[in-house]
Amino acid sequence: MNAQSIAQQLVSTSELAQYFSVDEISIFSHYLKSRDVDANMTLMAEGEPADCLMYLLNGKVRVLADNTQLNTIDIGGFFGESMFSEQGTRTASVQTAEKSVVVQFTLEDYSTFISQNPSLAVKFKNYYIAIKARNDDQTHGLLFRDHKKYLALIAHNEMKNSLADFVKLHVEDIGRFPLVATGTTGMMLYKETGLVLGKKVASGPLGGDQAIGTMVSTDNICGIIFFRDPLSAHPHHADIEALGRLCDVYQIPFATNPGTAEAILKYLRSGDVHVSIANQVLENYRRGQKKVLSSP
């Protein structure tokens, strides 16, 4: 792909046209190199030097850290803006989710750019520094709020294979939702089905069930599929009971076997607006708390 084609793509699909003129983008495009990349290929690896950034001209990529999917990037998006930060190494990996076309801009390209057109090169550098700061604020700022509703996939050790079999049968439906699970369950599901977690929690005995419960209380769970082992004792039994109780409080669908899990998937994938009956117990509790707070 030549520089003119790259420039046309960037003007039509990226945010650059909001901050740079067509001529400036055209000049910048002469320093970019395009390449075709197959699906499931690593474009950037966590821990490697932050020495380039890339734009996605076609396809789709996913951003991962510790094997947990953080985000997806579509056509026109870019990644690797930490190239211009004080951050020496990458804190996340980027992989292609499908066959893609990317253009790459390296530190060497920037050196050439600034030697030939210093004012424009600095303008681009400052733009990427600002984008990096904005993204950091969104991710780490005190006002950050995750509005996603995750489908939780949980299984006791003796039930993990059953969960994997269930997910294989319903991979298309389950893949529609952001997923949350423990790290070990997430890796198993990735190997068996190719599905990647949107969020990862600790294992159940180490607080994973409590973490899912917290997500229930913050309205970040649309349903829970929890294949429990009914014939074994569990050291975190109290956490399991607490998770079920929270699902009752917030009226979250909670499945514990393949039959009820299929019912939940059917309910969630319908896309209909579901009118829930108000939880009178919860409403009464909230009214009671307000009275306590308002009393002298």
Catalytic residue, from 38, 137, 173, 209: name it. 209
What angle is formed at CA 160 by the lines to CA 156 and CA 165, rounded to 5 degrees? 145
- Beta carbons within 8 Å of 276's beta carbon, 6+ residues apart: 251
Work out whether strand 199-201 and strand 179-182 pair parallel, antiparallel, or are unpaired: parallel
Work out the burial of residue 239: count CB atoms within 10 Å of its CB; fewer than 13 is exposed, 13-18 middle, 19 or more buried. Answer: buried
């094997």: which residue's tokens?
A: 67
- C-beta separation of 14 from 77 below 8 A: yes
Residue 73 pairs in a beta bridge with 61
Question: What residue type is 63 in one-letter code?
Answer: V
DSSP, residue by residue, 174-205: HTTS-EEEEHHHHHHHHHHH---BSEEE--GG
| 219 belongs to the catalytic site | no
Q: Which of 126, 10, 107 is nearest to 115 (CA)?
A: 107
Rounded to 10 degrees, the C-alpha dihedral 195/200/205/210 comes to -120
- C-beta separation of 109 from 31 below 8 A: yes
Three-class secondary structure of residue 132 per DSSP = helix
Residue 26 pairs in a beta bridge with none
Residues annotated catalytic, as ranges: 209
